[in-house]
């Protein structure tokens, strides 16, 4: 499973302050710690101020690339920021994200083909997030029609089935898991990614809930997650679940993580 490391995100207080202060040491340290902890991609999100965002994201991209070759995941609500980040990356990034919303189809989808290693596709559109599996499948089919027409291979599309917090919607996780199973049956090459921590919003001891959801999502075929690789108990659960599901030949990943002191109870 690919870890997309989440902590260089301007919605987090410390990261926001570091971006505002152009704190190179903070950003590079956080990038390197996430890489050492197993990140396949580093999500970079400059935060919330739309006017400053392209400049801020370019600074983040440049600053991270000074210390690591790990590819980036360009995460922005602003297509202009994604475009500005794309002009700077040294290796093909993940693009986060497209959706069925018109501004994402017009502003972000045209940037993907030929420039990115993959694109995250959120199952929502201008009418919002469909409540049930069939509604999400309608959005998924339309998005795949569009990505295929744009020349993007299904294997480069990371569908995010959108896990709604179980505190606000009792079947929030189940709809996401069932959507993954249904879409995999129709489009076996498509990959799946989730923003792991959404599921536990509003609940105490969120990490326990995130771990449970990760294990269930792996069983449903999860390929990637935006998550905190520095959380050793989450990382341990991920490796244990993959091993138990037969995705770890000779238990090699789990046992080498144990030898590196990464497995915790």
Is the separation of the CB atoms in 220 and 181 below 8 Å? yes
Q: How far apart, in whole angstroms, are the C-alpha atoms of residue 197 and residue 237?
A: 15
Strand partners, 72: 42
- Whose Cβ is closer to ligand THG: residue 57's or residue 226's? 226
Residue with smaller CB distance to ligand THG, 198 or 236: 198
In angstroms, give the least distance from the CB of 197 to ligand THG.
4
Instruction: Pick the closer one to ligand THG by CB: 44 or 243.
Output: 44
| Residue 6 contacts ligand THG per CB under 6 A | yes
Q: Which CB atom, from 13 or from 249, has the smaller least distance to ligand THG? A: 13
Binding to ligand THG (CB under 6 A): which residues in 90-129? 96-97, 120
Instruction: Decide: residue 265, CB within 10 A, 0-12 exposed, 13-18 middle, 19+ buried.
Output: exposed
Q: Provide, rounded to whole angstroms, the least separation between the CB of residue 243 and ligand THG.
A: 26
Q: Which is nearer to ligand THG, 49 or 244 (CB)?
A: 49
Nearest CA among 146, 76, 70 for reference residue 106: 146
Q: Work out whether 197 is an interface residue with ligand THG (CB under 6 A).
A: yes
Task: Please report whether residue 12 would count as binding ligand THG according to CB under 6 A.
Answer: yes
CA 172 vs CA 4, 153, 211, 251: distances in Å: 22, 29, 15, 32
Please answer whether residues 144 and 187 qualify as being in contact, where contact means their C-beta atoms are separated by less than 8 angstroms: yes
Using CB under 6 A, pick the residue from 27, 123, 214, 226 that binds ligand THG: 226
Task: Count the residues of the shown chain that bind ligand THG, applying the rule CB under 6 A.
Answer: 12
- For ligand THG, the closer of residues 64 and 243 by Cβ is 64
Q: Annotate 246-262 with b (16+ C-beta within 10 A) or e (fewer).
A: eebeeeebbeebeeeeb
- Smallest distance from ligand THG to CB 36, Å: 17
Does 9 help bind ligand THG (rule: CB under 6 A)? yes
Q: Which of 161, 195, 214, 239 binds ligand THG (CB under 6 A)?
A: 195
E strands of 17-84, at which residues?
Answer: 41-45, 72-75
Which DSSP symbol is given to 128?
B
Contact (Cβ atoms closer than 8 angstroms) between residue 206 and residue 200:
yes
Rule CB under 6 A: which residues touch ligand THG? Answer: 6, 9, 12, 75, 96-97, 120, 160, 195, 197-198, 226
């Amino acid at each position: 499973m690919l870890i997309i490391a989440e902590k260089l995100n301007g919605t987090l207080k410390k990261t926001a302050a570091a971006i505002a202060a152009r704190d190179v040491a903070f950003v590079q340290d956080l990038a390197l710690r996430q890489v050492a902890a197993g990140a396949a991609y580093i999500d970079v999100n400059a935060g919330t101020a739309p006017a400053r965002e392209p400049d801020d994201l370019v600074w983040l991209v440049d600053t991270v690339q000074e210390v690591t070759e790990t590819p980036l995941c360009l995460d922005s609500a602003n297509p202009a920021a994604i475009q500005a980040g794309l002009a700077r990356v040294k290796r093909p990034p993940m693009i986060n994200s497209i959706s069925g919303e018109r501004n994402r189809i017009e502003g972000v989808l045209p940037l993907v083909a030929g420039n990115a290693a993959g694109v995250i596709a959120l199952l929502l559109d201008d009418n919002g997030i469909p409540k049930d599996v069939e509604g999400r499948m309608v959005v998924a089919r339309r998005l795949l029609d569009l990505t295929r027409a744009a020349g993007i291979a299904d294997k480069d599309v990371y569908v995010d089935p959108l896990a709604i917090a179980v505190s606000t919607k009792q079947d929030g996780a189940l709809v996401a898991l069932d959507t993954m199973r249904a879409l995999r049956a129709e489009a076996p090459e498509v990959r799946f990614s989730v923003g792991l921590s959404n599921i536990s919003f509003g609940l105490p001891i969120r990490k326990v809930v995130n771990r449970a959801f990760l294990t269930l999502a792996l069983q449903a075929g999860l390929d990637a997650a935006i998550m905190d690789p520095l959380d050793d108990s989450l990382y341990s659960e991920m490796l244990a679940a993959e091993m138990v599901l037969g995705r770890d030949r000779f238990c090699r990943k789990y046992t080498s993580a144990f030898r590196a002191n990464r497995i915790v109870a």
